[in-house]
Structure 1
Amino acid sequence: MTRARGRRIPLTRGSSPMPTSARRAAQITFDFEGEGEEARHWLDTAYGTMLRLTGRMGTVQHHRADHRGIAFDHLKIDARFAFDSDPMPGLVVVDMIDGDLEYTRGGVTDRCRDGDTVLTSGWDMPFSGRSGDSYEVRATTFTAETITAAVEDVAPDYPWQHIAFTSYVPRSPAAGARWRATVDELVTWFPEVDSPVAHAEATRLLGHTLLRTFPNNVLGADDRLEDDRDLRDATPSTIRRAVDVIEARAHDDLSLAELARACRVSPRTLQYAFRRHLGCTPLAYLRRVRLDLARQSLRDGTAASVSDVAARFGFYNPGRFAADYRRVFHENPRQTLTRAID
């Protein structure tokens, strides 16, 4: 992949889903399968913009999973084509599964092949490019609201309108691998909106991963004076306030930014305090409290099922929940529930 030089991806508010991760999907039911003009029209409609695809349109297969704020798409096109697109109504990250693609936007061209990840488009940014003989991608789209929430979590006072990604490719091979592994997991287990805590946790995780994958001016805005102040305020009294908030609001969708505001410190101060005095992060502590509450629900019979209690306390991946539960309590959650029923 050709690495992009420093460029700004402008962001403006808007909402619309678009393109999902890096592992080839085993069995997928496509929402659309067709070719020619019918396929061109479908893609323009699905992505909310004029893609202006040129070239022979072979068979196009497309599937979308829209999770309100995050959307995953799986797209296969069996043809060589070019595109000269208007801006997308979302921030789009593409993971190449097969084939090769070339994207040009903001004066920068990235060439990607299977296994690569690239930030293809920001709001208000047109882009163009071309494909090889065929290609297959999974892609992830963020709405402005989702990006705003992620920025607020890591830098509450930073104006989200000024966020700029200074490269369109991951900051390192390891960062790209982490991104693809995270999306692989969430594509499979993304919780529904009727489980609000679990849905918010999954959305927040993906937003944070985006900011840590692609170089940007939010995470690069730290200075030494802020570090010194945060370390100075990372006291036991900060921990006590945070623990009180967690005890009262463990059932709620509680982000790091909200917890820090309730404690009247910055998110970084809260991170330092927990690391210094408890040896863990605030969200790891919150997760441990939620595990304990889940166990109580399984034991007292107020949980209808293991999956029900997992979703209620924000564990969007049932397999991960079961593994964490077993590690802490030395039995499977289903064993706890069975004892309660007996």
Structure 2
Amino acid sequence: MSPVRSRRGSPDAYDFEGTGDEARDWLDKAYGTDLRLSGEMGTIRHGRTDHGDVAVDHVDLDATLRFDAEPMSVLVVVDMLDGVVEYTRDGRTDQARDGDSVVSAGWQMPFTGQGAHYELRATAFTGDALTQAVRDVAPGRTADDLRFTSYVPRTPAAGARWRAIVDELASTFPGDESPIGRQDAVRLLGHTLLETFPNTVVAETSMGEVRRDSRDASPATVRRAVQVIEEEAGQDLSLARLADRCGVTPRALQYAFRRHLNCTPLAYLRRVRLDLVRQSLRDGSASTVGDVASRYGFHNPGRFASDYRQVFGENPAATLARSTP
């Protein structure tokens, strides 16, 4: 596959496009709760790809909305594609904008917030998916034991890792013809969720338990590799070095990524680095596009700019022009 793909998750067509009460009713039914939406109800577009225990939504709102929602039966992680949204739950308020990820709907908790004219991707986990991930990390525990101590990624690189994995799985998720593959994909997403957003389960569990492996080309190998990539994305990471850090052969690492993410380890690394470049351009920590591109190993300006446009839908210079110091 190509190392990059066009703008994250944007569907060719939506399941719903409408305004007013019709839009309110659609979103309430889609998320199984009373969102109590208010404000200027412009056009709302919503699309969903349902994978059973995990669903990926794309929402585009040409509207100014406030919400005061009842608890959901799913946990939702939002990746912002454009605009700004504010979420308050469990006494904590987080503002997410283009390039951010945030747990928007805490597990079985009400939430409030507001936003105007924004676009996002939302990944929803059922209780069964969360329980499976928690049990893998801490046998004997369930989703009821899961408490998040923060609703934003613990590091910028952790956020980049999360988005890169959702990028890959959103378009390559195994279907009904591959129940084992689908279960592995759900577990990989669940493990990545627990390792991205600070929580009590991972904090109380040794990393040896989190990363235990049954065979070289397993989801655990992918989890180990993406953890190394998160920690060393700005360093010189060859395939051989990455495999050595994971305790497997390069061939086993390649096979594991092909099997579970449908990409190569280096294509995934490139995706994480592109995300980190975008964060630096957006938050004002980069003085020039060339400097931050070189920092993350992009030494061919033409190829870098092309890859960046394919993933984010704009030139890197345009992102830098909107930066906030």
Q: TM class by shorter-chain length?
A: 0.5 to 0.7
The match for 1:288 is 252
Residue 217 of structure 1 is aligned with which of 195, 200, 203?
Answer: 200
The match for 1:130 is 114
- Distance in 1, Cα, partners of 2:8 & 2:252: 33
The match for 2:127 is 144
By how many angstroms is 1:86 displaced?
0.5
Which segments of 5 or more consecutive residues in structure 2 lack a partner in the other structure?
A: 1-5, 221-242, 268-325
- Per-residue CA deviations over 1:96-131 (Å, capped at 9, x if unaligned) read 111111111111111111111110112320111111
CA 200–27 in structure 1, closer or farther in 2 if over 3 Å, else same: closer
- Per-residue CA deviations over 1:212-261 (Å, capped at 9, x if unaligned) read 100011111147xx97xx9xxxxxxx99xx67xx9xxx9xxx876xxxxx
- Distance in 2, Cα, partners of 1:83 & 1:158: 32
Instruction: Report % sequence identity.
Output: 51
Q: When the two structures are aligned, how many residues end up with a matched partner?
A: 240
The match for 1:94 is 78
The match for 2:156 is 173
The match for 1:30 is 14
Residue 100 of structure 2 is aligned to residue 156 of structure 1: no
CA RMSD of aligned residues (A): 3.5
- Distance in 2, Cα, partners of 1:180 & 1:80: 26
Residue 180 of structure 2 is aligned to residue 197 of structure 1: yes
SS of residue matched to 1:78:
strand
- Distance in 1, Cα, partners of 2:91 & 2:36: 19
By how many angstroms is 1:154 displaced?
1.7
- Per-residue CA deviations over 1:78-98 (Å, capped at 9, x if unaligned) read 011111111111000001111
- Distance in 2, Cα, partners of 1:112 & 1:279: 36
- Distance in 2, Cα, partners of 1:97 & 1:150: 27
**Superposition pairs of residues 239-278 of structure 1, within 5 angstroms:** none
- Distance in 2, Cα, partners of 1:206 & 1:145: 13
- Distance in 2, Cα, partners of 1:73 & 1:179: 16
Residue 259 of structure 2 is aligned with which of 284, 290, 315?
Answer: 315
SS of residue matched to 1:57:
strand
SS of residue matched to 1:315:
helix
- Distance in 2, Cα, partners of 1:222 & 1:43: 37
Whether contact under 8 Å (2:153, 2:159) holds in the other structure is yes
The match for 2:171 is 188
- Distance in 1, Cα, partners of 2:261 & 2:8: 20
By how many angstroms is 1:288 displaced?
3.5
Structure 1 length normalisation: TM-score?
Answer: 0.62
CA 110–255 in structure 1, closer or farther in 2 if over 3 Å, else same: closer
Ranges of 4+ aligned residues in structure 1 off by more than 3 Å? 22-27, 157-160, 278-282, 287-291, 316-321
Which segments of 5 or more consecutive residues in structure 1 lack a partner in the other structure?
A: 1-21, 231-237, 257-277, 292-309, 324-342
CA 57–171 in structure 1, closer or farther in 2 if over 3 Å, else same: same
